[in-house]
Amino acid sequence: MKKIISLLLCLVLGGFILVGCSNSSEPFEEKSYTPDTQINEINLDVRDREIEVSLSEDEQVHIKYYENSEEYYDISVSDENVLTMTSASDKDWTDYIGVKPSAENRKISLQIPDALLDTITLSTTNEDISLPALAVTGSINISSNGGNITFENLAVGKSLYLTVKNGDISGTVRGSYDDFAIQSEIKKGESNLPDQKDGGEKTLNVSSNNGDVNIEFVDDK
């Protein structure tokens, strides 16, 4: 029995030593990306990164981010002018144990033109997503697993989809309450929206698991 306990202790201590030795301290490098063509749609699908959206001043899309050889991004633009940015990684299992990157290195700053994009899709985990007053001709789809979604005066031509788990949703939507057909599914949280409302030319779909929802409508007519 004593031999078994001693062996287990050695394995545990050896694991801590491996973690300490392999936990990367490679610094992150600030980078930026601006596509050389007009973008119609943006799709960001990242992990453990805050996404902060602001309006660009030159009608172009700009992305500022931080990466190193172990945590980086794949960025591409399709023939249909869809910009896609996804998380990529070259980490060993021991690299996931230890101190996470600083808040600055975990932020993606996305600048977009107002009222020129058709669709925006943003998804992250364990961090927040924030958007300013902006408009799209089509749809906005925002998802965070482990963070909050905040926004102000979002204007959509077709639909707005908001999904959180272990986080809150709060903000304002441009248009009247009657402009939207609403469907909301709230688990373990409070909401000022009905479960379902028919009618309206646009769609508002909200899903929250363990979080509160507070969305107001701003009728600018």
123-181 confidence digits (pLDDT tens)? 999 999 999 999 999 999 999 999 999 999 999 999 999 999 999 999 999 999 999 99
In a domain, residue 169? The reply is: yes
Q: How far is CA 111 from the centre of its chain?
A: 14
Please state the domain count of the chain: 1
Angle (CA) 115-57-111 rounded to 5° is 70
How much is the pLDDT for 93? 47
Which 3 state secondary structure label does DSSP give 186? strand
In a domain, residue 9? The reply is: no
In a domain, residue 174? The reply is: yes
Token pair, residue 90, equals 């070259």
In a domain, residue 121? The reply is: yes
How much is the pLDDT for 104? 92
In a domain, residue 181? The reply is: yes
In a domain, residue 118? The reply is: yes
The one-digit pLDDT tens for each residue of the chain (221 residues) are 545 545 444 444 444 434 333 345 689 999 999 999 999 999 999 999 999 999 999 999 999 999 999 999 999 999 999 999 999 987 654 455 556 789 899 999 999 999 999 999 999 999 999 999 999 999 999 999 999 999 999 999 999 999 999 999 999 999 999 999 999 999 999 999 999 999 999 999 999 999 999 999 998 76
> What DSSP character marks residue 31?
E
How much is the pLDDT for 76? 98
Residue keyed to tokens 């698991």: 209
Q: What is the largest CA-CA distance in the chain?
A: 79
In a domain, residue 1? The reply is: no
In a domain, residue 43? The reply is: yes
Task: Say if residue 172 is exposed, middle or buried (CB neighbours under 10 Å; 0-12, 13-18, 19+).
Answer: middle
Range of the domain at 132: 26-218
- The 10 Å Cβ neighbour count of residue 123 is 18
